[in-house]
Amino acid sequence: MNLLDSHLLTWLTAVPAVGAVVVLLARRQRPTVSRGLALAFTGVAMLLTLRVLWLFDPSKAGPQLSERFTWIPTLHADYVVGVDGLSILLLLLSALIVPLAIAASWRSSGKGNDDARLTSMLMLLLQSGMFGVFTALSFFHWFLFWEVVLIPAFFLVRAGGTALARRAALKFLLTTLVGSVAMLLAFQAMLFAANTLDFAELARLGKSGALAGKLAQLAADAGLGWSASTCAALAFGGVLLAIAIKTPMWPLHTWLPDTYAEAPSPTTLLLTAGMSKMGVYALLRIALPIFPDTAQRLAPLLLGFAVVTVVAGAFAALAQTDLKRIMAYSSVNHVGFCLVGAFAAVGAGTGLTDDRAAAMSGAVLQMFVHGVTAGAMFFLLNALEERTGHRGLHDFGGLRRAAPWFCGAFGVVTFASLGLPGLAGFVSELLVLRGTFMLAPLMAALSLIGVFVTAVFLLTVIQRVWWGPPRQWTVPLPDLTPRELVVAGVLVALIVAVGVMPGPFVAQGSAAVDALVATFAGGAR
């Protein structure tokens, strides 16, 4: 293996960070130069991601392209990276959405190079953080990236410029920091108890029950008479709180609508397509493997919260008239399906391995699918708002004739979001519901309410915006530019490809899903 391939994941994480420094130092340049530099570095990151995909063997369950170095021995903090079926599609998603966000922000170049330079720099930092989260396999190193992502996200949200945007940014930061503190305390306890921060080793100890025993011993040494199950539940709760906030899961989702609505649209694109997937990924990578017994005991309760996330998100979207708020609540609804699949797959009981695998595979694929569809949706909404200065549901009408290419791309993305057969959303949601119907039929039936309501509000958007009598001030509406056509065309092609040929995408995570499901298929221990 050559030098590039032997450190491929390190290079992948480092390239956007280096690009951020280069863009920051590119003073006295035109805005297009700053964004061009940012696109160049994200282009290199995309090439490295494609190389990872080329080398990745989906038939293997364990981490691949691994690197391990001793970093801080006194803290048992090693530098450990690798990629498996849980993270491979998320790496591709991270490589896709940042250039998409930079392209979406291109028209705002007129604000001056300082704005373009800082925005591009922050987007590159956020991409580096996402790559780090999806490749790190030791907590110390992983947590650094988990927190680093918050910094550019905070300033990108605040760049909305209004008092509401500043308030939303602060609410976003403080809410997510609460979860991060809880997670940090949980892992600090695990470090003192088990003397390791390696995810694989912690998962081995968690599966055998040794981790709970070590946590109980730690509590006993501190004069606390807590049982092993209580200690494990407390640690699991700390980790789960951070995950539930980041995802977000009802009722901890309240930061999301304000943040998505008040942030600039390119930032909203990054948040919904990338950051929310970090929470679901952390659930699959950390919480479920390390605390299998606790997760299995609490699965019915957590599945109930996940179903409420799906249904409440759909009804909240139905009640909105701001297009960005509609899609913000739609994101809550769609990410909820990831949680439904994951919690249904780990629920108590024996056997039903194929059904667990279907639900979990659907959750893994839904992360990628929603990232692509939500990213495309916010890209198109950004273009619409830039052209008209409006984003209200009742501000438009009859745009189909004025902008047919725009309407066509918007229609494909919308129908993918509501789960039309032949498009990406149908495949992932069908897998989730297929597995959940066998494992928890009542919860699956209740989730269908969210599917029906989603169809109602998305079809309402199409009817109000693209059909009906046109508004005089929206005609003529410029159609998609060549740059926008390329971006929208790539995303639409990907949505259709997943819908028509889902096998290769599902196969990327099948071995990792089977390994995770095997932990729970024997029932609660």
Mind listing the pLDDT tens digit for each residue in 202-248?
888 888 888 888 888 887 877 777 888 888 888 898 999 989 988 88
Q: Where are the domains of the chain?
A: 295-525
- φ/ψ region of 209 (left if φ > 0, alpha if ψ in -120 to 50, else beta) reads left
Residue-averaged pLDDT of the chain: 84
Give the pLDDT of residue 524. 40
Q: Residue 252 contacts by C-beta under 8 Å, 6 or more apart in sequence?
A: 175, 241, 244, 245
In the block, tokens 């976003």 appear at: 172
C-alpha span between 317 and 457 (Å, rounded): 7
Tokens representing residue 66 in the block = 């691994």
Using a 10 angstrom Cβ sphere, with 0-12 exposed, 13-18 middle and 19 or more buried, the burial of residue 69 is: exposed
In the block, tokens 């056509």 appear at: 485
Three-class secondary structure assignment of 470-520: CCHHHCCCCCCCHHHHHHHHHHHHHHHHHHHCCHHHHHHHHHHHHHHHHCC
Tokens representing residue 234 in the block = 């407390």
End-to-end CA separation in angstroms for the chain: 42
Give the pLDDT of residue 250. 85
Contact 398, 475 (CB under 8 A): yes
Instruction: Name the β-bridge partners of 77.
Output: 72
Residue range 142-162: mean pLDDT, rounded: 84
In this prediction the pTM is 0.88
Give the pLDDT of residue 45. 92
Mind listing the pLDDT tens digit for each residue in 418-439?
888 888 888 888 889 888 888 8
Mind listing the pLDDT tens digit for each residue in 159-214?
766 777 788 888 888 888 888 899 899 888 888 888 888 888 888 888 888 888 88
Tokens representing residue 113 in the block = 């190079």
C-alpha span between 498 and 505 (Å, rounded): 7
C-alpha span between 427 and 119 (Å, rounded): 35
DSSP per-residue string spanning 48-65: HHHHHHHH--TT--S-EE
Q: How many CA atoms lie within 13 A of 53 on its CB side?
A: 16
pLDDT at 83 over 80: yes
pLDDT at 68 over 50: yes
Instruction: Name residue 129's amino acid.
Output: G
C-alpha span between 65 and 48 (Å, rounded): 12
- The residue that leads in pLDDT, 307 or 29, is 307
C-alpha span between 410 and 268 (Å, rounded): 17
Alpha helices in 73-162 (DSSP H): 88-104, 113-135, 139-148, 150-158
